[in-house]
A and B are shown apart, each in its own frame.
Chain A
Amino acid sequence: MDRRFYGKLVLRGKIRAVTGLHIGAQREISEIGGIDNPVIKDPHTGLPYIPGSSLKGRLRALFEVLVNSQLNNLKAKYPSLSNYSPGSCRPQNQENCGKFFNKRINRGWIHVCPDYNTALNCPVCRLFGASGNDSNFPSRVIVRDAFLTKEWQDKWRAGEPLTEAKIEVGIDRVTSQANPRTNERVVAGAEFEFEIIYNVEDLNQWKDDVKNLLTAMALLEDSYLGGSGSRGYGKVRFIFEGFEFRSAEYYKTGDKNHVISIKAENKSPGEILGEFDGLFSEVESKLGAR
């Protein structure tokens, strides 16, 4: 076991809610005529935000399903995947039964490698981390809470609503009796600032990891974030601003000359993947990656 540190790659940009976005909060008080399902908001400002845990969890979930689908093709590249066959241990109700979705967390079954060395050779766990039974593998990715952009905070201060109460109706199939409920959701068009930090710990793996991360982001654009996605909620777009590579030297000295800034304004994760080698050539020569 070994762990190294070469620097941090900071990915920055905006998340635009293309359709209404609902990331639910705990309902503390039921008011008559109140909203049944409020969205999560900062307790001080009252402004909605996207928790880092929601974003990271969704990226991981989508990427796990992708890896599960391509398990046999990926075994040569990622040795740990040879331990798994596609599917979930849920029917057997036993963790690590040999299927890919192998760990139970309450009622959900997800993929987590059981120790450090297996996680190191798994595309999911070496990126998103694994809390194994024998040893952990620390996540190489940090996903920060995404707060509203300044522009949207100003709109809110100017009186523009940031959330809407959407009334939905369940209709009894026989009697046609209506059963209405209200969902709160962040209005379409709202923009949040995202920041994802990737730790460069392995010179042979960083490019692959970052490509996998961008793939997960591209998958999310064609899936949904938050609840009620199959009813059209939660379509999001990532609009990149750029990247910053902060080398270990920068942290030691504070000298900004050891930071590489890469502009990628208004690009999507798919476009970045397409231009990956060109965009990251300077980081690659700095790291001397193989």
Chain B
Amino acid sequence: MEFRAILLRPKGPLTEIPKADTLFGAIASAVAVLYDNKAVEKLVDAFKGGARISSAFPYFNDTFYLPKPLSVELVDFGKEYGEAKRIRRAKYLDVRNFERALRLEPFEAPEMNVYEKVSIPRVVLDRVTNDSALYFWDEVRFREGAGLYFLYSGPDDVFRDYIEPAVRLLGDTGIGGKSTWGFGLFEPEFSKLKIDAPDSEYEVTLSNALPTKKPVLWRIFRKGGWSFERRKPKMTFIEEGSVVKNDPGRFEELDLGLSFRVHIYGLTFPVPTLLPDMEGLK
């Protein structure tokens, strides 16, 4: 399988690693700025018709990382204790090991040190007395040569007409919070990524998703946020790496009292994966 890979070479820190729903929200906002709300509706329709984006994952030079499929957590590869622990704890695998994991073959977990989460002090100064008030802000910083990328799968014209212009604008606007401090700015680069996946009816999702039926293997998290000064209700997503069977996921349309409806992206980004032969699993 070949996908378009959109590299975001960071020019500064990010508040967090954006997931697919954040990326889609940022892309839709950029499309609204460059064109209009009708273009956003067309974009949403294109995604309802089959286009997909993944969450953002790290890369370092030529190594691209993907989320570890949950299916491998059920397999005993018989490693030494330390190694087994590292594999169990790994969040990301490089593409080659990700492909092995899809086939339930023994794989290695990389020793990753491509980004670091740090807490940075900030100061507010009283304009008259210069009295200072200290507070802290968490940020994700990447090492040199490292950054983020996400995948796109779908029609070329949707990519050319919406994704590419939106990503160009977002590079100079920022993704995520505190963009006016330079957070989330990046230099975009458009490339491709091949993933060699087995034939299977089960699929691992590379995006956080809102499933339409019970997933096969899943890990959940709750996520809310803000949209145009309105708080979005917290929703339950399945994490990247979860396994589904024939589930496209769904958009959630919210009426937040704005002049338009807010679309929460919850589509799956499916890549076929094998499942261990265990009773009750299939």
Give Cα A68–Cα B35 distance, bound, in whole angstroms.
39
Task: Evaluate whether A44 and B143 lie within 8 angstroms (CB atoms) in the complex, with A101-B127, A105-B124, A142-B179 already known.
Answer: yes
Give Cα A108–Cα B173 distance, bound, in whole angstroms.
29
For residue A48, CB closer than 8 A to chain B, the reply is no
Contact of B141 among A43, A108, A136 (CB under 8 A): A43
Contact of B180 among A25, A110, A129 (CB under 8 A): A129
Pair B12/A52 contact, Cβ less than 8 Å: yes
Pair B165/A108 contact, Cβ less than 8 Å: no
For residue A162, CB closer than 8 A to chain B, the reply is no
Interface of A is mostly: mixed
Residues of B within 8 A of A105 (CB): 124, 133
For window 193-216 of chain A, which residues contact chain B by CB distance below 8 Å? 195, 197, 199
Give Cα A65–Cα B130 distance, bound, in whole angstroms.
12
Residues of A within 8 A of B112 (CB): none
Residues of B within 8 A of A272 (CB): none
Tell which of B123, B129, B179 has the most Cβ of chain A within 10 Å: B123
Which segment of B71-79, B113-121, B216-224, B269-277 sits at the interface?
B113-121
Contact of A106 among B127, B133, B229 (CB under 8 A): B133
For residue A40, CB closer than 8 A to chain B, the reply is yes
Contact of B128 among A51, A88, A139 (CB under 8 A): A88
Please encode chain A, from 134 to 155, with 1 for each CB lying within 8 Å of some chain B CB and 0 for all others. Answer: 0110110111110000000000
For residue B58, CB closer than 8 A to chain A, the reply is no
Residues of A within 8 A of B119 (CB): 26
For residue A90, CB closer than 8 A to chain B, the reply is yes
Pair A26/B181 contact, Cβ less than 8 Å: no
Residues of B within 8 A of A56 (CB): 180-181
Residues of B within 8 A of A42 (CB): 141
Pair A111/B127 contact, Cβ less than 8 Å: yes
Give Cα A42–Cα B142 distance, bound, in whole angstroms.
9
Please encode chain A, from 13 to 43, with 1 for each CB lying within 8 Å of some chain B CB and 0 for all others. Answer: 0000000000011100000000000001011
Give Cα A120–Cα B43 distance, bound, in whole angstroms.
31
For window 243-280 of chain A, which residues contact chain B by CB distance below 8 Å? 246, 248, 250-254
For residue B176, CB closer than 8 A to chain A, the reply is no
Pair B185/A44 contact, Cβ less than 8 Å: no
For window 122-155 of chain B, which residues contact chain A by CB distance below 8 Å? 122-129, 131-133, 135-137, 141-144
For residue B67, CB closer than 8 A to chain A, the reply is no
Contact of B116 among A25, A43, A53 (CB under 8 A): A43
For residue A78, CB closer than 8 A to chain B, the reply is no
For residue B46, CB closer than 8 A to chain A, the reply is no
For residue B33, CB closer than 8 A to chain A, the reply is yes
For residue A157, CB closer than 8 A to chain B, the reply is no
Task: Please name the residue on chain A nearest to B169 by beta carbon.
Answer: A251
Please encode chain A, from 56 to 71, with 1 for each CB lying within 8 Å of some chain B CB and 0 for all others. Answer: 1100010011001000
Residues of A within 8 A of B241 (CB): none
21 A-B contacts (beta carbon < 8 Å)? A5-B33, A5-B34, A8-B172, A42-B141, A51-B120, A53-B122, A53-B178, A53-B182, A88-B127, A90-B126, A106-B133, A107-B132, A108-B132, A108-B133, A109-B126, A138-B180, A142-B181, A144-B182, A145-B11, A199-B173, A253-B165
What 5 pairs between A and B have smallest CB-CB spacing?
Answer: A106-B133, A52-B182, A144-B182, A44-B143, A108-B126
